[in-house]
Amino acid sequence: MLLLLGACGGSARRQEGPVVGASKADDAYFSKRASTDLLSELWADTLSRSAPLKALDGQVRAMAAQKADSLAAYDAYTRYSTRYYADAERYAASIGDTVLRGRVLALVRSSRDAQARRTAGHTALDSSLQKREAAIGDVHGMLKLLLTLPLMERYQQQKLPSRTPLEQLNRSWQHLEQRLDSLRRTSGG
């Protein structure tokens, strides 16, 4: 995490970003009309203010796309082989002669095991890529939270509305409630 922040030229707490809620435009982040994913909006604004952070975010996105492209042929190959062995076992299982069925199933399973050994390196790389992708996704998500949380906290501190209108409304409702209750009692209810 510190390496990521260092690569972006700062720390999570020192990162200068938008002063959320400083203007009417910033208030749009928190309005009822704003997108349901406020964190992504704040993140996009943070990226627009930091070229190194924007480059790093772009690299994370590009790597995810590159992984999908790089694994496409292997994934298709694996699906094809897996499908074949599932079909072959189903066909073999339908053979009525138990001795012949056993021999055919043994051949199919032997071929499947040889294929697994042949592709063990690919399978290990795929597993490693999945773990790295998950780890990078976790750190990327954490970075988004660490850099947007101070923006939200600053907004909450600076834009907390006065309680006065709520207190006045509460008193008005209380007064109305008393008047209605008094009228109900005098009406015999």
Interval 133-147: pLDDT, tens: 999 999 999 999 999
Using CA atoms, how far residue 189 sits from 96, 148, 176, 182, in Å, is 86, 56, 17, 10
CA distance 111 to 118: 10
CA distance 169 to 110: 79
Sorting pLDDT into bands at 50, 70 and 90, what band is 35?
Answer: low
pLDDT at 170 over 80: yes
Residues 6 or more apart from 40 whose CB is under 8 A from it?
A: 144
Q: What's the average model confidence in pLDDT over 46-69?
A: 92
CA distance 124 to 130: 10
Helix (H/G/I), strand (E/B), else coil: 62:
helix
Q: What is the mean pLDDT of the chain?
A: 85
Sorting pLDDT into bands at 50, 70 and 90, what band is 68?
Answer: confident
pLDDT at 15 over 90: no
